[in-house]
């Protein structure tokens, strides 16, 4: 998440792209806050105690990235640790659409 935060801070925010962090899986809201503060995550985050959102999107592990296009449809899914280049390229493709 620190890499995503850096990308968001340096590029995505200025490009008007949204990044929403969802924290869940055997954690607490306090632990989430501590992590956000310690890693200086600048993009919006919320705590999902019941993993309701994760279940709605079929999340089976973390990290998992869901890319939504301009129309609010799922354009791409990526599960597991991936390079920050993939996130940037997919978002740029969606932005070019």
Partner 1 sequence: MLYFLRSLVAFRRVAPVAQVQTPHVIGLPMPRSRTTTSAIAILICALASVFLGGCAPNTAEPGGSDHSATVQVLLPTSENPAAPSGDAPAAIPPTDSPTLITATDTPIAATDTPAPATYTPRPPPTYTPRPAPTREGDGEREEAVTFQAQLLDGSVLNLSDTLGTPTLLAFWAPW
Residues lying near partner 1 in the complex (CB under 8 A): 1, 4, 12, 16-27, 29, 31-36, 43-48, 52-54, 56-57, 59, 62-77, 87, 91, 94-95
C-beta of 9 vs 67, nearer to partner 1: 67
CA distance 2 to 19: 13
Minimum CB distance to partner 1 smaller for 40 or for 44: 44
Nearest to 67 by CA among 59, 76, 58: 76
- Give CA–CA dist 71/75, Å, rounded: 10
Closest to partner 1 by CB, 40 vs 63, is 63
Specify the DSSP element, H or E, that contains 67.
Answer: strand 64-68
* Rounded least distance, CB 14 to partner 1, Å: 13
């Amino acid at each position: 998440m620190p890499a995503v935060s850096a990308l968001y801070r340096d590029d995505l925010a200025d490009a008007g792209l949204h990044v929403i962090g969802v924290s869940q899986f055997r954690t607490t809201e306090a632990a989430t806050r501590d992590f956000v503060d310690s890693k200086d995550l600048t993009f919006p985050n919320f705590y999902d105690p019941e993993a309701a959102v994760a279940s709605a999107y079929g999340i089976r592990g973390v990290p998992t990235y869901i890319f939504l296009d301009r129309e609010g449809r799922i354009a791409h899914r990526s599960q597991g640790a991936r390079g920050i280049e993939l996130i940037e390229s997919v978002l740029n493709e969606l932005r070019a659409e």
